[in-house]
Structure 1
Amino acid sequence: MQRATGLYNRSPITTWHATRSRRQLWHNAGFPQQRLHTVSDTQRGWLSRPPALPRSLRRWLCDRGSLTRRLKARCTRFSVTPLTTGLARANFDEMVLVGLSGRQLAYVRDVTLRCDDQVVVFAHSVLTRKSLRSAWNGITRLGSRPLGEALFNNPRIRRQALAYRKLRPHHPLFRRINLHLPQTERCLWARRSVFCLAGHPLLVTEVFLPSITPL
């Protein structure tokens, strides 16, 4: 069993894992029809490359470094506000990425990231109970500390490729956000990736709110 303190080693991640992707034609309302790249058939709608976006949003969406570190550099006061933590059902397109099947419950952690008291990101983390009891057992004690610091300070953690999606109001994640932060936007851009520690996957999805673009 991994020790909880293993999450907080202070070294940068040095290795990235790439995942295979396949091409398909996808029409995205609000953008010209163009050839995009889906992660796999089981993850339809998630893209390995985002379409053309305003630079103010793309620079946040596509940066592969620590989001926590970058946000801290752009504001005076950075904070994490926990919203929900505990056992819950994962979204259908999340289950295969963390190894869930059937009616198994996942451990889910939802938080908001704030810059100078302004909510800029909704972060959604999912892992199995088995992973929670072993490699990732320090997550339950994070509280209002950012998960990103732990992920990027441990050289044993490996991050897989980023995937991107434009969330519409019917998407489960959009609905989760609306429970805490009612949205007037018709869509929100999100990205996600899997972090692996000792063979145990942790899925982290970050949804960028419009308030992030001025930063």
Structure 2
Amino acid sequence: MPHAVLAHTPRWLSASHLHPQPGALLRDWLFDEGSLTRRLTELSAEQFSVTPLSEGWQVLRADECQALGVAIESLGWVREVYLRGRGEPWVFARSVAAREALEGSGFDLSLLGSRSLGELLFSDRAFARGPIEVCRYPATWLPAEVRAEGLWARRSCFSRGALGVLVAEVFLPTLWQQFETAQP
């Protein structure tokens, strides 16, 4: 069974290891180091919202454990949401933090509700953002209503002391449609 799990684990790559390079628009969104929440808010003409899908304690995936530097099968807080523009799900986001680091950190992910985690991380200067990595996100990891093969995703780890919050963002086709309809 481990081989089946490994076969579906994506290879997260830095910009310098990504060949061939995606087009300019996609590359701009994947590697932008600013707040995605702010960017989506602007693109949606202030019609941005967060829809929580699920959150709670779960065994973290192997790639998440590796990125957070914790033992495989560690328990962590997992939060999955849609970032919506004009009511449409534009981005699927999955944020995780290892239980040992989260407990006692004073950072309670369970209190976010429909607030943006990204906005909170960018407004707290104690958090430092690690490098951005990208991949083609496994369709099986997406909610059924947006499941598609080959969608681009990015992730980075926001650190504050011993606490690491790994944020993965999957760009959905509905986001790219905004650019098609904006063309004259």
Task: Tell me, in whole angstroms, the C-alpha distance in 2 between the residues paired with 1:176 and 1:161.
Answer: 22
In the alignment, structure 1 segments of 5+ residues that lack a partner are: 1-42
Structure 2 equivalent of residue 65 of structure 1: 34
**Which residue of 178, 183, 193 maps to 2:143?**
178
AA partner of residue 70 (structure 1): R
**What TM-score does the superposition give when structure 1 sets the normalisation length?**
0.71
> RMSD across aligned C-alpha pairs, in angstroms?
1.8
User: In 2 relative to 1, CA 71–105 (structure 1 residues): closer, same or farther, beyond 3 Å?
Assistant: same
Task: Tell me, in whole angstroms, the C-alpha distance in 1 between the residues paired with 2:58 and 2:67.
Answer: 16
In the alignment, structure 2 segments of 5+ residues that lack a partner are: 1-8, 180-184
Does residue 46 of structure 2 align to residue 74 of structure 1? no
AA partner of residue 48 (structure 1): S
AA partner of residue 195 (structure 1): F
Deviation at 1:182, TM superposition (A): 3.8
**Which residue of 15, 23, 26 maps to 1:54?**
23
Task: Tell me, in whole angstroms, the C-alpha distance in 2 between the residues paired with 1:44 and 1:122.
Answer: 16
Deviation at 1:98, TM superposition (A): 1.8
Partner-residue secondary structure (3-state), 1:47: coil
200-209 vs 89-98, which deviates more? 89-98
Partner-residue secondary structure (3-state), 2:82: strand
Task: Tell me, in whole angstroms, the C-alpha distance in 2 between the residues paired with 1:58 and 1:175.
Answer: 24
Trace 1:1-215 onto structure 2 (pairs within 5 A).
45-49=11-15, 50=18, 51-76=20-45, 77-135=47-105, 137-167=107-137, 171=138, 174-179=139-144, 181-183=145-147, 185-213=148-176, 214-215=178-179
Task: Tell me, in whole angstroms, the C-alpha distance in 2 between the residues paired with 1:121 and 1:136.
Answer: 28
Where is the helix percentage greater, Structure 1 or Structure 2?
A: 2
Task: Tell me, in whole angstroms, the C-alpha distance in 1 between the residues paired with 2:74 and 2:68.
Answer: 11
Deviation at 1:99, TM superposition (A): 3.3
**Identity over the aligned pairs, expressed in percent?**
38
AA partner of residue 45 (structure 1): R
Cα shift readout 1:66-105 (whole Å, capped 9, x = no counterpart) = 0001111111310000001001121111112223314432
